[in-house]
Amino acid sequence: MKKTTALLTLAVLFSGSVFAAQTGGFSDPKAPTISAPQGGFSAEETVVKVKQAQEMKDDSWITLRGSIEKRISEDDYIFRDDTGTIKVDIDHKRWEGQTITPKDKVEIQGELDKDFNSVELDVKKIRKLN
């Protein structure tokens, strides 16, 4: 039992120095600082119209610009642009404290959810436009 305790104690002591060594690295005070990007993949945004969105494949990621016309249930709304309307599902957390009215222009990004006879956009991001 004493051997096990002694080995465990040694393992804990040495593992601390191993973890500490991993936090270091080369440091050159004369070198310029390089900031790593904080985001993920970024591609050119393609804004589509509601009419185009209704023809796209299920699970397509899209961006729409227009206005939210009205609320139809807890998380469901009607979104409108100059080509038509589409039902959008916006979870409460996606509003991020923004207050948006039907008069406001917005940009929404999300994933299309197509069934046999309906098309809906599951909104992941909403942004009020100036």
Instruction: Read off the pLDDT of residues 69-108 as tens digits, 9 standing for 90 and up.
Output: 999 999 999 999 999 999 999 999 999 999 999 999 999 9
Q: Which residue has the higher pLDDT, 22 or 74?
A: 74
Domain ranges for the chain: 50-128
Structural fold of domain 50-128: OB fold (Dihydrolipoamide Acetyltransferase, E2P) (2.40.50)
Residues 7, 15: contact at Cβ < 8 Å?
Answer: no
Band (25; pLDDT cuts 50, 70, 90): very low
What pLDDT shows up at residue 24? 45
Q: pLDDT tens, 27-62? A: 556 655 555 556 665 655 679 999 999 999 999 999
Q: Of the candidates 105, 98, 111, 59, which has an alpha carbon nearest to the alpha carbon of residue 82?
A: 105
